[in-house]
Structure 1
Amino acid sequence: MNLDLIGKRALVTGSSAGLGEATARMLAAEGAAVVVHGRNRDRAEAVAAAIREAGGTATTALGDLATDEGAAEVARAATAGGPVDILVNNAGFYRHVSWAEATPAEWSDTYNVNVVSGVRMIRHLVPAMRERGWGRVVTVGGGLASQPMDSHPQYNATLAARHNLAVSLARELKGTGVTSNVVSPGAILVDATRELVTQIGPARGWGATWEEIRPNAVDALIPNDQGRFGEPDEIAAAVAYLCSAYAQYVSGATLRVDGGLIRSAF
């Protein structure tokens, strides 16, 4: 399917690695001019260069979205080459901590990075989309929004907030031609996922090597109909669809991409 994103400009936050990088690459392959965002210049430039080498169009925008000043700088850089039509709020982080370790400061920091940063970019970019009568906002959330684990509660809660604000935004944008949706990944095999599972696997009896740990981790953590971890491109494809003209009738929706997750336990 040709998603016909030629002529559209897309900012993907947190796209110097992981799901954001996969999304930036896929949007560029579908014809969008992509703005790669990150805080590390070398990493962001490397992703943009790879997109250009593959025949796509890509620039970079550097800045810390956790501050008003950093978000404003990213918005200025992203719109320097033209108005942004597509905003993918992907940037976020978590620390794997217990309830006892999740201090109020940890909660506050995580909320600022994972929720308020996205709000900053919405405020910078969505008004112009509304004026032009076309736009896409896609928030990358997660299954932990509705099936939280007993650990890193501050992160679980921010995912729920991301889902909630995206639907609220959709209601606000009623009749404007701008949509707001959520892509909710299951456990996707990015570096951070593999590192975490490898770290905790031996103590939980899942094995000593990645080949042993991987299937046991799926069974224990994310039993699903596909029997595996997801891949970054599978999330990127869902985002790309929601950014296309084919998804004009989809707004305020949460698109699960989790293999048919049965439950979440940790």
Structure 2
Amino acid sequence: MDLQLHGKRALVTGSTGGLGEAIAKMLAAEGAAVIVHGRDEPRARAVASTIAHDGGRADIALGDLTSDEGADAVYETALAHGEVDILVNNAGFYDHLDWNTAAPRNWADTYEINVIAHVRMIQRFVPDMRKRGWGRVIQIGGGLAGQPLPSLPDYSASLAARHNLAVSLARELKDSGVTSNVVAPGAILVPAVRALLERIAPRHGWGERWEDIERGAARDLVPNDVGRLGRPNEIAAAVAFLASAHADYISGAIFRVDGGTIRSVF
């Protein structure tokens, strides 16, 4: 399928590793010119170099999105080589906190990074999309937005805010040619997740081989209907589709890619 992304430019926040890196690489492979964003210049250049080596086009934009000054710097750098047609708000953060350890300051910091930073990018890039009559805004959310656990309360609440703001934005962008959607991953196998699961495997009795650990985690920790964790490219594929011309009729949607972790008949 031709996603018709040639000639489009995409900014993927937090794309120096993990899901963001996978998204940036897939968008580039589909023909979009990509702007790799992060705060670490060597990591950003490494991702951009890999994309270029594989035949894609990539620039970098550095900046801390938790301040207006940092967001302005990213905006100005991103526009240096052309307009931005696709904004993927992926940058985020969580710590392994619970109701006993997540102080109000932690809640505020999580909200600043995971929500307000996204709002800064929306308010800078969407007006230009609207003027041109075409654009894509894609939030990376998560299943914890709707089915939170006892742990990670601040992070789960920030995901719920991401989902909510994306639907509100879709209503605001009615008839504009700009869509707003969410891709909501389940548990995805990125290096940090693998390291965590390998560390806690002994106390859960999952064994020592990675295949057994993953199967045990998918059974006991993040139950789903597929029996494994997701892969970064599976999230990237959903983002690429929503960014494409084939998704013109999709807006205000929560696009779950979680192996059936979140279970609802509607």
Do these two structures clear the TM 0.5 threshold for a shared fold by scoring above it?
Answer: yes
Partner Cα separation in structure 2 for residue 251 and residue 79 of structure 1: 25
- The one-letter code of the counterpart of 1:219 is R
Q: Is the 1:106–1:154 contact (alpha carbons within 8 Å) kept by the matching residues of 2?
A: yes
- The one-letter code of the counterpart of 2:149 is M
Which segments of 5 or more consecutive residues in structure 1 lack a partner in the other structure? Answer: none
Paired residue secondary structure (1:79): helix
Q: Is the 1:8–1:86 contact (alpha carbons within 8 Å) kept by the matching residues of 2?
A: yes
Partner Cα separation in structure 2 for residue 234 and residue 167 of structure 1: 23
Question: Which residue pairs with 2:168 in the alignment?
Answer: 168
Match runs of 1:81-100 below 5 Å: 81-100=81-100
Partner Cα separation in structure 1 for residue 196 and residue 82 of structure 2: 39
Shift of 1:147: 1.1
Q: Give the share of equivalent positions with the same residue, in percent.
A: 65
Deviations 1:224-250 (A, max 9, x none): 221110000000000000000100000
- The one-letter code of the counterpart of 2:259 is G
Structure 1 range deviating more: 97-106 or 206-215: 206-215
Match runs of 1:223-234 below 5 Å: 223-234=223-234
Question: Which residue pairs with 1:129 in the alignment?
Answer: 129
Q: Is the 1:222–1:262 contact (alpha carbons within 8 Å) kept by the matching residues of 2?
A: no
Which segments of 5 or more consecutive residues in structure 2 lack a partner in the other structure? Answer: none
Partner Cα separation in structure 2 for residue 97 and residue 207 of structure 1: 26
Q: Is the 2:143–2:262 contact (alpha carbons within 8 Å) kept by the matching residues of 1?
A: no
> Given the two structures, how large is their TM-score scaled by the length of structure 2?
0.96
Partner Cα separation in structure 2 for residue 167 and residue 31 of structure 1: 28
Question: Which residue pairs with 2:58 in the alignment?
Answer: 58
Shift of 1:204: 2.9
Shift of 1:192: 1.8
Paired residue secondary structure (1:69): helix
Question: Which residue pairs with 1:177 in the alignment?
Answer: 177
Paired residue secondary structure (2:34): strand
- The one-letter code of the counterpart of 2:248 is Q
The alignment covers a number of residue pairs equal to 263
- The one-letter code of the counterpart of 2:115 is V
Shift of 1:208: 4.5
- The one-letter code of the counterpart of 1:229 is L
1:39 is the counterpart of 2:39: yes
Shift of 1:52: 0.4
- The one-letter code of the counterpart of 1:121 is M
